[in-house]
Amino acid sequence: MAPPSSFLDLTASKVLDELAGPVAPGGGSALAFTVAMAAAVVRMAARASSESWDEAGGVAAQADALRYRAAPLAQLDADVYDRALAIRDGAAALPAEKRDWEIGKAFIAAAEPPLEIARVAVDVAELAESVARAGEPRVRPDAVAAAVLAAAVARAAVSLVEANLTALDGDARVAEAEQLAHAAEHAAARARAAIA
């Protein structure tokens, strides 16, 4: 199947077909879509709480902004990773030193989209926590679901960042991804506790 101009133009069924294919998009694109969906759920829950919660409109607007920030990362992740694979596969003719440099640069670039996905995920998890605490009781479990999804995205993004930076021990981006995952997981735990 030929890659589309944008994954955002596809139906959900086609997105799943693309994700199931043998090449990019891969895990990063799936994570971007998942966190965008979690943000959409937060927006829904906030909007459903607008009559009883003064901050609901602002929270819904923030959730929308996060959704629009996350969704394009699906395409970006696939494009950047595909480029890294192409550089790796085409670098055989280069001298070893130049080959390692070019491949390293490509995979360092490929670590950036999953790191940005993790940044969005922690924001979604924390926003979902606020809805779980103050939203309408009937949609608080939805907010918890969104927080848990966002936390899972942040945790999974750590693996992708680590995989793309394998040659760089102690890279600050891996540490940042780990901190983001912990923050998202704590927000999800607080959201769950808010409805317990």
Q: Judge whether 14 lies within some domain.
A: no
Residue 9 has pLDDT above 50, yes or no: yes
Q: Is 99 inside a domain boundary?
A: yes
pLDDT score, position 24: 64
In a domain? residue 48:
yes
The pLDDT confidence band at residue 4, using thresholds 50, 70 and 90, is: very low
Helix, strand, or coil here: 104?
A: helix
The structure's pTM equals 0.90
For residue 133, is it within any domain?
yes
Q: Which domain holds residue 44?
A: 25-195
Of 65, 165, 62, give the one whose Cα is nearest residue 113: 165
Angle at 12 between CA 38 and CA 184, to 5 degrees: 20
pLDDT over threshold 80, residue 1: no
Rounded to 5°, the CA angle 50-56-60 comes to 110
Q: Check residues 22 and 67 and name the one with the higher pLDDT.
A: 67
Q: What CATH number does residue 38 fall under?
A: 1.20.120.680
Q: Looking at the domain assignment, is residue 15 inside a domain?
A: no
129 close to 194: Cβ distance less than 8 angstroms:
yes
114 within 8 A of 77, measured Cβ to Cβ? yes
Q: Between these two residues, 3 and 193, which has the higher pLDDT value?
A: 193
Q: Which tens digits make up the pLDDT trace of 97-118?
A: 888 888 888 898 999 999 999 9
Reply yes or no on whether the pLDDT at 25 is more than 80.
no
* Domain-located, residue 51: yes
> Which pLDDT score is estimated for 74?
92
- Is 17 inside a domain boundary? no
Number of domains in the chain: 1
Is 147 among the domain residues? yes
